[in-house]
Amino acid sequence: MIPYGRQSISADDIKAVVDVLESDWLTQGPAIERFESAVAEYCGARYAVAVNSATSALHIACLAAGLKQGDMLWTSPNTFVASANCGLYCGADVDFVDIHPRTYNMDVEALDDKLGKAAVSGKLPKVLIPVHFSGQSCDMSAIGDFAKQYGITVIEDASHAIGGRYKGHKIGSCVFSDMTVFSFHPVKIITTGEGGMVLTNRRDLYEQLIKLRSHGITRDPAMMDCKPHGSWYYQQIELGFNYRMTDIQAALGDSQMKRLDEFVVRRNFLAQRYDQLLAGLPIQLPTVMPENRSAFHLYAIRLKLDEISKTHQQVFEELRNNGVGVNLHYIPVHTQPYYRRLGFKQGDFPQAERYYDEAISIPMYYGLTDEKQEIVIDIVKKVLR
Ligand SMILES: *Cc1c(COP(=O)(O)O)cnc(C)c1O
């Protein structure tokens, strides 16, 4: 089976991990700072905070933004559940903005419309989480303008998108947002096994994030309410968590950062080849807007079902039965039973639902060889014929 995504681990990556295992520090050592600096520098952001998953990163980013009970968080329905769950962790309410029919990202016209109505009814969100689906940035300059106008904190869920660019800025630069979150799960662009990171240019948010990552504890005398009792002294000044990343993971991440550009070049090459060799089939190929360079975490095709004699499910199963490990991103979050119990229902976000009825993610990863890609293309053609 050719999987839809897969990590690439080099001899240098392995050596970096082994070096940590043989060192004095397995966690809270020097590899974390090295990895954080590498990502911050690459993206052009001032601060980076490594944590044990993007889910943790989203949680502490929301807390740093001050999200709490009685507040509202908006995100895209076409995402992994974590982009919405982080709002619920904070006791806030969650709502969604439907997607654009071609980029599958949050639709800024729908956002504009919903914000206008929310401003009238006094129900504006405190936090907005645009999700850069498949590695392509949302229209962040428009979203950033809305956020300024309405006083909203923007957290980019860039779990798919490290190595991508928008209007000449690296994703993660936080030029149009307050914070950006990356995931380092093995299917994402670079991996630490499990892991995530929050980037920001704001010192106040950075200080909050650092505290929340590690139990709400500080060792900085300036933040304490009394003089330190001695050099052992620390104070817990917030309710934080243990969301720390290990040095073992950070060393792998730092080593993977050196390969990031190569990963994204290869993914873009594979995408172009799919674009060329799948043209003419009854499918909608991905659309990348001219201001974007996608990191191509996913290559999602969309079936034109009125031109195909099979159902979506039949095409999906036939691809899998022929050895193509396809997947589906995403089941609209608002249709999950947990969210339906909160009051959402089928029909609430029709673009995301229609996309779900037609989409299939076909294999896309750095180690996908030209030969394997040709096999995928041949099988896709055979199944759709
Ligand atoms: C993978 C993913 C997450 C969660 O990442 P973890 O590191 O697994 O916690 C969140 N949002 C999106 C869009 C993702 O793809």
CA of 141 to the centre of ligand 1 (A): 23
Environment class of 64 (CB within 10 Å of its CB; exposed 0-12, middle 13-18, buried 19+): buried
Nearest C-alpha neighbor of 44 from the set 205, 169, 167: 169
CA of 270 to the centre of ligand 1 (A): 23
Using a 6 Å cutoff on CB, does residue 176 contact ligand 1? Answer: no
Tell which one of 83, 85, 156 to mutate to probe ligand 1, the residue whose CB is within 8 A of the most ligand atoms.
83
Q: Ligand 1 within 6 A of 82 CB?
A: yes
Class of domain 2-257 as given by CATH: alpha beta
pLDDT in tens, 127-136: 999 999 999 9
**CATH number of the structural domain 260-384:** 3.90.1150.10
| Ligand 1 midpoint to CA 55 (Å) | 6
CB 313 within 8 A of CB 356: no
What does the alpha-carbon distance between residue 211 and residue 219 come to, in Å, rounded to a whole number? Answer: 10
With the most atoms of ligand 1 within 8 angstroms of its CB, the residue from 60, 76, 83, 183 to mutate is 183
Mean pLDDT score across all residues of the chain: 98
Q: Say what the pLDDT of residue 56 is.
A: 98
Nearest CA owner, ligand 1 atom 10:
82
Please tell me the distance between residue 221's alpha carbon and the centre of ligand 1 in angstroms.
Answer: 35
Taking the CB of residue 308, how many other CB atoms lie within 10 A of it?
Answer: 18
pLDDT the model gives residue 367: 98
Closest CA to 87 of 76, 78, 99, 98: 76
Ligand 1 within 6 A of CB of 54? yes
For residue 252, the SS3 value is helix
What's the pTM? 0.98
Instruction: Give average pLDDT by consecutive 10-residue segment, the chain, 385 residues.
Output: 97 98 95 98 98 98 98 98 98 98 98 98 97 98 98 98 98 98 98 98 98 96 96 96 98 98 98 98 98 98 98 98 98 98 98 98 98 98 95
Pocket flag, ligand 1, residue 157 (CB < 6 Å) = yes
Percent helix, percent strand, percent coil in the chain, to nearest 5: 40, 15, 40
pLDDT of residue 236: 97
Q: Determine the pLDDT at residue 385.
A: 86
CA of 164 to the centre of ligand 1 (A): 16
- The pLDDT tens digits for 92-115 are 999 999 999 999 999 999 999 999
Domain residue spans of the chain: 2-257, 260-384
The β-bridge partners of 128 are: 74, 154
* 3-state SS, residue 350: helix
CA-based max dimension of the chain: 76
For ligand 1, say whether the CB of 159 is within 6 Å of any of its atoms. Answer: yes
Strand 196-200 vs strand 169-170: parallel, antiparallel, or unpaired?
A: unpaired
